Structure 1
């Protein structure tokens, strides 16, 4: 399988350099393709060019038997379709066996968001008299105020923040940049952290970094670090909820739409390329409107 590994590495390099995909996305592609390579080994298929449409269907069946979620299966098939499209373009294979494999229908789940009371519990739990507490407060306030992705949050540099205009230059997927506004609560939390907590954390490191958010060692915080921070904060509240960084993004969009923001504005703030991606939040707001109606209308 040495040749297969070389082809995989060539494809991943293409995604990074030509397609400008993020490191996280490239790793996801690699994991999906590796599962397929393991399947080929189990089926004693020696070459990528030997794979037929029947083999592709067999792989799909295998994923179903292993009880992968429909969304996960769809992503894997989409990944392999792109992989073979690249191999065909580079003339490593003669055809794309995944070209005609239909994707499983996506499960339509409304995004989980936090209610205002749940957000307030998080805002109150940070000990802002400590450097770590100031940092955590700034993270929570900023992610709710802007709806940015966790990858975008850890990539923010000090120079990206304009306090006079109350905007942040955010670098999103495929290095697309956008300016996102933030409110007074986030402004106060950020200024407190930058002027106090961050200076203290930076002293723990021998190097200098322009990264906004630092870990306890004084180096740049990672996406995994933010997830761990949120887990700890939730445990300190009385709320029995599971929080992911992406839920702040869902909450940001849902609360804006609930308060009357138009869909196009929310799309631009979130950095969505297509309006259809943003429209998922309209289902959430419709459910809320229906619940309000049923609870308050005299004739409901």
Structure 2
């Protein structure tokens, strides 16, 4: 009973204090429940009695069950976060995850749209009714700001400075940041807010300040936002899949490809650690290599001709 209460307290902390997204908290819950089930089945006692060897045995068991290195890393991260929380709050006197590391393969590059693909998608959005104008404002702002899906879902009117085209965002861990947005998204946002949001709010009994609402005037959920993004992408005639984070990846990648410095991109994305942003330098470097290979291919061709 004590273990379960500890887990619930930790998950509450992640959701309400650290402000992790719903899906992130769900993943943490699943990972920690898997560990508890393993410990209960092996008869190793409570979470307080766990040793480093138990953590290693659990990860080994998960590997035998077919989990990928990426999933194993997430499980270890969930356990490390939980025990760090317990140690910091004097709920336990040791952290069994200390010194345990997984050797992972090459980090996967983020999935993103080219600039041409992104602009084609946004330019194909229909503008026939209030919901269309809401979608236009939503998608233009996602791309222009790189917001996380929950940051967009929680966005309120007081966080928008239309005169200066700035957003005041409270992100993960209650970290505040200021994010500018471009003229195109500014126009889309102004049109939606001044001409169409009130129309959607007519079906809502209680007034509120959330920016993006559904046809009943209620706050959009994160799942609702994902549905809007997927449907709009499908209707635009584009091939492939989309998720809101792919737009965020595109925002960061396009900034890097057009000369933005790493620190600025880190600040705009709200990354706590620079290492989280450095993944986009690999994308930028790959693009530069492609450009060099393409532009200087004539040298290779000429040298092959000389050799022949």
TM-score under structure 1 length normalisation: 0.91
Contact 2:32 2:78 in 1 (8 A): yes
Measured in 1, the distance between the counterparts of 2:191 and 2:12 equals 41
Matching of residue 173 in structure 1 with residue 168 in structure 2: no
TM alignment of 1:240-251, pairs within 5 A: 240-251=239-250
How many residue pairs match? The answer is 298
Equivalence for 1:38 = 37
Secondary structure of the 2:179 match is: strand
**1:122–1:140: 8 Å Cα contact kept in structure 2?**
no
| Cα distance in 1, alignment partners of residues 21 and 234 from structure 2 | 30
Q: CA deviation at 1:157?
A: 0.6
Q: Tell me, yes or no, if the aligned pair for 1:45 and 1:51 is still in contact at 8 Å.
A: yes
Rate the CA distance shift 1:88–1:175 in 2: closer, same or farther, 3 A.
closer
TM-score, scaled to structure 2: 0.88
Q: What is the match of residue 204 of structure 1? A: 203
Moved more, 90-99 or 144-153: 90-99
For the pair 1:143 / 2:103, whether they are aligned, the reply is no
Q: C-alpha displacement at 1:34, in angstroms?
A: 0.9
Higher mean C-alpha displacement, 95-104 vs 85-94: 85-94
- Post-superposition Cα deviations, 1:156-194, rounded to whole Å, max 9, x if no partner, equal 111211111111111111111111111111011101111
| TM-aligned CA distance change 1:112 to 1:15, over 3 Å | closer
More deviation in 110-119 or 44-53?
44-53
Structure 1 residues 14 and 213, CA, compared in 2 at 3 Å: closer, same or farther? closer
Quick one: distance in 2 between partners of 1:179 and 1:237?
31
Q: 1:264, 1:91 → 2: CA distance?
A: 35
For residues 71 and 84 of structure 2, the distance between their equivalents in structure 1, rounded to whole angstroms, comes to 20
Distance 1:178 1:60 in 2: 37
Which residue matches 1:4? 3
Distance of 2:85 and 2:238 partners within structure 1: 48
* Match in the other structure for 2:305: none
- Structure 2 unpaired stretches of 5+: 301-308
Residue in 1 that maps onto 2:270: 271
Distance in 2 of aligned mates of 1:288 and 1:141: 24
For residue 168 of structure 1, give the secondary structure of its aligned residue in structure 2.
strand
What CA RMSD, in Å, does the superposition of the two structures yield over aligned residues? 2.1
Contact 1:71 1:107 in 2 (8 A): no
The change in CA–CA distance for 1:47 and 1:274 in structure 2 (over 3 A counts) is closer
Distance 1:22 1:85, change over 3 A: closer
Mark the runs of 5 or more structure 1 residues left unpaired by the alignment: none
Cα distance in 2 for residues equivalent to 1:82 and 1:274: 16
Distance 1:248 1:65, change over 3 A: same
Alignment partner, residue 20 of structure 1? 18
Change (3 A) 1:64 1:194: same
| Alpha-carbon distance in 1 for matches of 2:92, 2:154 | 38
